Amino acid sequence: MNKEIRFVLRCGLAVSLALIASSTVVSAQVPPTTVTKLGFELELRSDTKIFVDEINSAGKVIPLDEPTTAIGLLGVPQIHFKGGNLQANDPLLDNIQIFPGFRPFVHFTQSETSVAAFGRTIVATYNNSAGLHLVPNPNGPGLVFDRIQISGFSTSTDGGKTFISGYFPGVGGIPFSFGDPSVDVDRHGNFFFAQLGQDADGNGAITVNSSADGLHWNNAAVAALDDGSDKEWLAVGPDPFRNSQDNVYVTWTSFQATGQKLGFARSTDGGVTWTSKIIFDPPADNDPAHPQNSLSFSNPVVDRFTGRLYVPFAHFSNSDTDFIQMLISDDAGATFRFATFNVPGAPDTTLLPIVQPGELTECGATLVAPKRFALNLRLTLHAGTDVGGSLTGLRRFVNATRLIAQPAIAARNGVVYLAWNTSTSPFFGDPNGTSKIMFMRSDDGATTWTAPTQVSSLGDPHHVHPSLSVSDNPESVHVSYYTQHDDGTLDLDMANSHDRGNTFLADRTVRVSSMPFALPPTNIPIPTASNPFGTTNYDRNIAQCYALGEYQSNRSANGNVYVSWGDTRNTVTQPVNALDRISGLKHPQEDVFFQIVKAQ
């Protein structure tokens, strides 16, 4: 008999939890990888971190698929788009693997972009499921990976006319890299790329590759060993004391038993050797509206005039409102201090209040023991209707993509530019909330700020995942972001200011994508006898509700703005397979697209 538990969230949304008798919802991860939000455990790990953790917990073996108990195939609209822009990733690398007793392995996801440019060389980096390759387990039943190269790149040496694609080598050249791409370039044209990886002994690590030309990449160096590492980001810029020297910095989220901490690594010799440490270890707080021992989504940047290092990140509460904080270092990371925002009503002067965008939805439940489930709850942007059947009573959407609250930042000669996305609702996870992109500027190194202003266009319900760059002319500020329309399709837009961010006029906002695109099926219900709440991404090695990635990228250089984003205008047809609920269906799939926008 089902037991019904009813409660009310702060947002006023009544939620019904229909739990199977004697079933239990548990947290399957140690150390904790979630933050408690209004009674729910919100998943914080990136897609690639989830993938690595799940593979490791299964002993690196994928067992045979259990037949679904669903009747018939799941209907998803068939969509096909054609249009402009330039596809950066090589489509010939996409592949499908089929094994008896398994649903197909459709390796067709390229998204979550980071771009850098020097002269005519442009490097676009991204997560790439085409770098996954399975073989039959030589030691027993099931399948194992003989290659996990999630970190991909596409490089142009002709100013963005053509691209050559490849994969980043791991430590010692091993074919293991786990994504979360971040790329930057120094003043001499040396490129640096940070990713999640492992050392030669299989320990989790933050690793960094380097290249003198953007095409040929050195084996990854270990910047820091950390089995709990996730969501790393890289920045390059001058040492504040030795202006002729460029330093390479990496920050990341460290999942530990006491919560999440902020990790930091530095190289002063071009990425050859590294030092690392924890730079922020927040405590828990008895007040649920205050910041807790939970943070993520750091995004460092170096002021290339002063060498000052800025590290904004998201700091979470257990209530509706979360916060952005920013650490600042004037001595190349030896010491840090907090920026001040001085927002009236905030718990302290260093906190910028935000409400994370997106609806709180259920993206599958993993069976961890008989009738014991670990939930994957995420804030998402979605399309279509609620397919029901969830464990929590939260809505489930087949076509969905995860949203995060990573701040976007640029700094130039003491001026700091900051953009972020936030919900229009004061209530966390509100299904009726929309989202917008906000911006403000500091002219005194993050001590005082202009009033926040909305830069996203009006008339569409959602604007998410901002990226920000400043042209060589400091008057020109560029903020790109995804826009979701009323019909559920998306575009990539860019707001532009020519007065240092004082105004972002509507007629200076450009549509970067040449055509709208639709969300692919990433949260397909696959109920089985043992787990009636299971779901899968069509690209089944990719986490549920992962499509566009957790960020896109624009970079100003050479009088241009180079924009790279995840785009789903292309399609793939699922192989015919009796175990697959979307067998034979043609549907959107993810690629990386590129566009040059003149910065004028």
pLDDT for 24 equals 54
51: its two tokens: 């993938």
pLDDT for 21 equals 32
Burial 434-466 (b: 16+ CB within 10 A, else e): ebbbbbbbbeebbeebeebeebbbeebebbbbb
Joined tokens for residue 17: 């939890």
327: amino acid identity, one letter:
L
Q: Tell me the CA distances in angstroms from 334 to 66, 277, 328, one per residue in order.
A: 53, 10, 11
CB atoms within 10 A of CB 546: 30
Residue-by-residue DSSP string for 411-451: EETTEEEEEEEEESSSSTT-TT--EEEEEEEESSSSSS-PP
> Please, which contacts does 571-574 make with residues 24 or more away whose CB atoms are closer than 8 Å?
571/78, 571/79, 571/80, 571/81, 572/94, 572/106, 572/108, 572/538, 574/104, 574/106, 574/538
Whether the Cβ atoms of residue 217 and residue 193 lie closer than 8 Å to each other:
yes
One digit per residue, the tens of pLDDT, for the chain of length 600 reads 232 322 233 333 433 333 333 345 544 444 678 898 878 888 899 988 988 888 887 788 988 988 888 865 555 444 333 346 999 999 999 999 999 999 999 999 999 999 999 999 999 999 999 999 999 999 999 999 999 999 999 999 999 999 999 999 999 999 999 999 999 999 999 999 999 999 999 999 999 999 999 999 999 999 999 999 999 999 999 999 999 999 999 999 999 999 999 999 999 999 999 999 999 999 999 999 999 999 999 999 999 999 999 999 999 999 999 999 999 999 999 999 999 999 999 999 999 999 999 999 999 998 888 888 888 999 999 999 999 999 999 999 999 999 999 999 999 999 999 999 999 999 999 999 999 999 999 999 999 999 999 999 889 999 999 999 999 887 899 999 999 999 999 999 999 999 999 999 998 999 999 999 999 999 999 999 999 999 999 999 999 999 999 999 999 999 999 999 999 999 999 999 999 999 999 999 999 999 999 865
How many domains are contained in the chain?
A: 1
Alpha-carbon distances of 474 from 13, 238, 299, 450, 487, rounded to whole Å:
45, 19, 21, 16, 37
Q: Which two tokens stand for residue 494?
A: 């860019």
Strand-pair partners of 214: none
Model pLDDT, residue 158: 96
C-beta contacts of 261-267 below 8 A and 24+ residues apart: 261/295, 262/295, 262/298, 262/311, 262/313, 262/327, 263/206, 263/224, 263/226, 263/229, 264/311, 264/333, 265/206, 265/223, 265/224, 266/332, 266/333, 267/208, 267/223
The single-letter DSSP state of residue 570 is S
**Tokens encoding 384:** 């279509």
Strands 415-423 and 435-442: antiparallel
- For 468, list phi and psi in degrees, rounded to 5: -135, 140
Helix (H, G, I), strand (E, B) or coil at 184: strand
Assign residue 349 the CATH number of its domain: 2.120.10.10
* Lookup: tokens for 443: 């002219």
| CA 480 to chain centroid | 15
Take residue 499 and report the two structure tokens written for it: 């007065």
pLDDT at 31: 63
Which range of residues forms the domain containing residue 337?
3-79+86-598
* Helix (H/G/I), strand (E/B), else coil: 476: coil
State residue 10 phi and psi, 5-degree precision: -60, -25
Burial 390-409 (b: 16+ CB within 10 A, else e): bbbbbbbbbbbbbbbbbbbb
Residue 84 has what pLDDT? 60
